[in-house]
Structure 1
């Protein structure tokens, strides 16, 4: 059963990055391999938070972003889903769940894909989770708390799952700037952030109540 940062059930608030890092250390210090999920809408800052936690904890922690399980662009084109990349059915959700289960088993090194936003594709087997050294695996993404299968199986693999909350106007500005940074025109960047991204964000926001804690950024 998933728990909050203090090891108990029930939602709590973790205010700020430093408090989140301290709470993650508690999880890492528990016996066995821990699995922490960080969820939030696009642009909330979950990747930044996850990377900070892993950096602060050092070699005992490793990062496993959900984004590595994006379907390839060619596959999205074939399925007719390229115009809404980032929606739940544009990921290999079953593959993500299977990877979490293999990591949870803790019997072997598990290799996983990593998403490269500059080319909008993933490289296979770029990340490695070694149970001999890892004490905490931090996995972050949009749909860790989604109730529909196969996404619904993610929650059972996590010891805790924290929701990242941020000012909505700031989140939207970040998204527009992200799209601009990767070569989209201002019009396209605005349309994507307020269109497809926003629909995904609203879906993620509805899962907030299922989180063990909220991290305010």
Structure 2
């Protein structure tokens, strides 16, 4: 995937250059939405691209030239799930669209265009299994903000508004069998399930159906890349 990361990093910088050439703003900010099914490798890709941009492609800029924000911070807290019509179902289906504060995510993406003020986004604490307010900071010097998450390119409201606010729309496709293994193992490592069997049950009943939903409701991306399993050498 290193070649994919490098190509995406170059694409981000080239898009920033085009944005700079087409505006009178002194330091415009590029917004990128990166979406994909659970297990597609969104976070891994986003962080790898940001590392490349910050380390090699924009070396003269601020060290935080590119900042990554995860949509996971916009999960509703467990206390909010408790108030839903079917709390048991809400907890079981956590990760489905209705378990996110979609409007708050949309509002955040819209606000990110303004780089005259520092923005804060919630992060997600996997140990506490809840979002943390202000866990991610977007400094005024950040030139590129990449937001990654499952539903950022959904064609349903209010998610659909995001595609109008961002400059680049990226999608990571993944084969279901690979996504299934990844998310099952991740559920065990994060403590969501006690063993791999339960992890696969959750993958089959929650994550993979969410992945199908994501592809069925996908706004046309600017670029699609295929997630692959790299072989250790």
TM-score using structure 1 length:
0.87
Q: Is the 8 A contact 2:154 2:219 kept in 1?
A: no
CA distance in 1, matches of 2:189, 2:224: 29
Q: Choose the corresponding residue for 2:10, options 1, 16, 22.
A: 22
Q: Aligned pair 1:69/2:74, yes or no?
A: yes
Q: Aligned pair 1:48/2:32, yes or no?
A: no
CA distance in 2, matches of 1:93, 1:49: 23
CA distance in 1, matches of 2:151, 2:217: 8
Counterpart residue number, 1:214: 224
Q: Is the 8 A contact 1:145 1:152 kept in 2?
A: yes
- 1:111–1:209 distance in 2 versus 1, CA, 3 Å: closer
Which protein has the larger Cα radius of gyration, Structure 1 or Structure 2? Answer: 2
Q: Is the 8 A contact 1:27 1:136 kept in 2?
A: no
CA distance in 1, matches of 2:72, 2:105: 9
After superposition, give the CA deviation of every residue in 1:60-105 in whole Å (9 maximum; x if it has no partner). Answer: 1111111110000121122121110001111111111111111113
Q: Choose the corresponding residue for 2:211, options 201, 204, 215.
A: 201
Pairwise CA RMSD of aligned residues? 1.5
CA distance in 1, matches of 2:175, 2:197: 23
5+ residue gaps, structure 1, are 1-14
Q: Aligned pair 1:116/2:163, yes or no?
A: no
Moved over 4 A (4+): none
Q: Is the 8 A contact 1:39 1:144 kept in 2?
A: yes
Counterpart residue number, 2:161: 153
Counterpart residue number, 1:104: 113
Q: CA deviation at 1:209?
A: 5.8
5+ residue gaps, structure 2, are 21-27, 55-63, 228-233
TM-score using structure 2 length:
0.82
Counterpart residue number, 1:10: none
Q: How many residues align?
A: 202
Equivalent position SS for 1:210 = coil
